[in-house]
Structure 1
Amino acid sequence: MALGFAGLVLLDYEAHCNWQTLAYLDFCTLEGFLRHSFFNGWLSVFSWVSFVFLGMWIWRQDLAQKGTQNRLILWGLAASLLAALPGLILKDPQLAELLGTASLPPGPCYLIAASGSAWVMIGAMLRLGTLLDRIGLAEWMATPGRMALSLYVAHILLGMGTLEAMGLLDGSLSPETIFGFSLGFCALSMVLTWVWTLLTPRGPLEALMRRVAEIFR
């Protein structure tokens, strides 16, 4: 997070980016590829790898304990609210952008706010696990999690690709409509992943990753 923020302050984040066409100049050169991969790409290593390390840390906690679940909810809520304050308080546009909660550029406040909201959701789902299992929803909601990589790629290539083909990614959609599309994708994902598990226990990309890992083990 610190390295990514230092890059935002010291370097030109918008270098070689065409925001109108979403094209990245010189991507096929070594310098352009490294810059895009580590600094100002859509999911550059700095600062997005922060989520990876945070997820590894959460996984090592005793998630079955209610105390851990409560802390995830409370700390996550506090982190999300506090991280949103600088962008609301600061009057300077450049500082507000650096310390805002927009995902581009991925400043520290965005990383903290996004992580906090994830903590809240993880803690809440764990607390509701028994209830969800009792009403028969636990397995339906857990199945997509076993295919998170495949669904992540699908939501970009198929979900957003379909919206782009329909001309709906021009900024005209309201937040309510976007939320509705998101819920629809989640519901469809639960059904499709449940059907997929009847055929094979792993998603297509998860199976591919396992195959590659076994080759290089």
Structure 2
Amino acid sequence: MNERIEGLDVARALAMFGMLIVNYTVITHTSTEGDHFLAIFMHLFEGRASALFVILAGVGLTLLTKQAYLTQEVTLLAKKRRDIQKRAAFLFGLGLLLYLIGWTGDILHYYGVYLFMASFVFQHSSKRLLVGAGSLIVFAQLAQIKWDYLAGWHPERPLLEYLDFWTAQGFLRHLLFNGYHPLLPWFSFLLIGLVLGRLLQRRQWRKPLCWWSIFVLISVETLARYLQHNSTSWLDADSAFFLFGTGPIPPNIAYLLSNTASSILLIIIVLWLCEKWGQTIILQALAYTGQLTLTHYVAHILVGVTILEVWGRTSQQSLRFVLLFAVVYFIISVLCSYVWRKQYKRGPIEWCMRKIIQ
């Protein structure tokens, strides 16, 4: 169990690294033109880091509620539900605070809603959770086709500025349908994570999950690219990308399948690595970093973005600069995490959350 939990922490740290690359690329308005191979490398992280975070949240929730799920005892279920809802309220409030100060790409307020919803379903069977996840995915795809996915976004700055976020209608539209991580269909990632957390507790499931993930990932990516380039007889290029692209916007069926597969594959690989070499200083430092991801998420906004602004590096930067900045920032974060965890059990934001929700 210890290696399994440390493996999840290492996976969170790697997800954070991907998040740094994606967010700093967006913040600096980096163009992907010029360096083809580096652009391909950067695109590998687009949308996958956030999906991995949410799936890991589901896995962690399974471990947190394991006893309540197994016993189905009413009192214990109610206690776990309250604990989850307190965390959800904290994350939702913190996320809105970050949005208020200018971080419009926030994921924490979405996390709060995911957790609140999960507090009502974590005790259900794996079959029900998977049916729920599949239903969300299909319904979200139909909604993207039926309704205007760019509603609410600035016509001259689509997917960069949301005009009516602070109105009731705009907030709900952004939260449920066409924000960066809308409930439809992103909550399906958390439901899948709940089921994955149960399967990973049985060692015999790892190898089948690994091979199925590889098969789904290769199949979906191959089919998606084929359909994008060979559907011109009945679709225009924009519609083909909208329906068959595997990027995070819009989060269509191809994106969800591809990112679920890559997330499961990475988690299993990291679990194997931690079982073999979990005591090495590098993996231990990464595990400490993963344990402080909430603090690092806030810090990469308040510290990392501030550095870029003071440096005058928030527009038209090269891919090489962004990647170098993200790597250096991540290494410093890992070193700080290692030093901090040698002295303290929790990170500053994690400590605040625990004190507030107690």
TM-score by length of 2: 0.52
- Provide structure 1 residue ranges, at least 5 long, that are not aligned to the other structure: none
For residues 174-213 of structure 1, the aligned pairs below 5 Å read: 174=319, 178-213=322-357
For the residue of structure 2 that corresponds to 1:137, the secondary structure is: helix
**What's 2:140 paired with?**
4
- Tell me whether 1:69 sits opposite 2:206 in the alignment: yes
CA–CA distance in structure 1, aligned partners of residues 174 and 324 of structure 2: 32
**What's 2:84 paired with?**
none
CA deviation after TM superposition for structure 1 residue 72, in Å = 3.4
CA–CA distance in structure 2, aligned partners of residues 168 and 203 of structure 1: 28
CA–CA distance in structure 2, aligned partners of residues 45 and 89 of structure 1: 29
CA deviation after TM superposition for structure 1 residue 14, in Å = 0.5
2:183 aligned to which of 45, 65, 76? 45
CA deviation after TM superposition for structure 1 residue 167, in Å = 3.5
CA–CA distance in structure 1, aligned partners of residues 241 and 272 of structure 2: 35
CA gap of 1:46–1:212, structure 2 versus 1, over 3 A, is farther
CA deviation after TM superposition for structure 1 residue 49, in Å = 1.4
CA–CA distance in structure 2, aligned partners of residues 71 and 161 of structure 1: 45
C-alpha contact (below 8 Å) 2:225/2:244 kept by paired residues:
no
For residues 31-42 of structure 1, the aligned pairs below 5 Å read: 31-42=169-180
For the residue of structure 1 that corresponds to 2:200, the secondary structure is: coil
C-alpha contact (below 8 Å) 1:37/1:45 kept by paired residues:
yes
CA–CA distance in structure 2, aligned partners of residues 156 and 73 of structure 1: 34
- Tell me whether 1:117 sits opposite 2:288 in the alignment: no
1:128-174 CA distance string (max 9 Å, x none): 1233235433311211221223323434554456446644554x533
1:8-52 CA distance string (max 9 Å, x none): 111100112126272211212111110011111112111211221
**What's 1:15 paired with?**
151
C-alpha contact (below 8 Å) 1:87/1:97 kept by paired residues:
no
CA gap of 1:96–1:85, structure 2 versus 1, over 3 A, is farther
Measured on the aligned residues, the alpha-carbon RMSD in Å equals 2.6
CA–CA distance in structure 1, aligned partners of residues 179 and 223 of structure 2: 24
CA–CA distance in structure 1, aligned partners of residues 326 and 193 of structure 2: 23
Structure richer in helix, relative to its length: 2
Between the two structures, name the one with larger relative contact order (CA 8 Å, sep ≥ 6). Answer: 2
C-alpha contact (below 8 Å) 1:17/1:25 kept by paired residues:
yes
CA–CA distance in structure 2, aligned partners of residues 142 and 122 of structure 1: 13
TM-score by length of 1: 0.82
CA gap of 1:26–1:155, structure 2 versus 1, over 3 A, is same
For residues 134-145 of structure 1, the aligned pairs below 5 Å read: 134-145=279-290
**What's 2:66 paired with?**
none
Identity of aligned residues (%): 27
C-alpha contact (below 8 Å) 2:224/2:245 kept by paired residues:
yes
**What's 1:89 paired with?**
226
For the residue of structure 2 that corresponds to 1:61, the secondary structure is: helix
CA deviation after TM superposition for structure 1 residue 80, in Å = 1.7
Aligned length: 211
2:297 aligned to which of 146, 152, 156? 152
For the residue of structure 2 that corresponds to 1:42, the secondary structure is: coil
C-alpha contact (below 8 Å) 1:16/1:24 kept by paired residues:
yes
C-alpha contact (below 8 Å) 1:144/1:189 kept by paired residues:
yes
CA deviation after TM superposition for structure 1 residue 53, in Å = 1.4
CA gap of 1:206–1:79, structure 2 versus 1, over 3 A, is farther
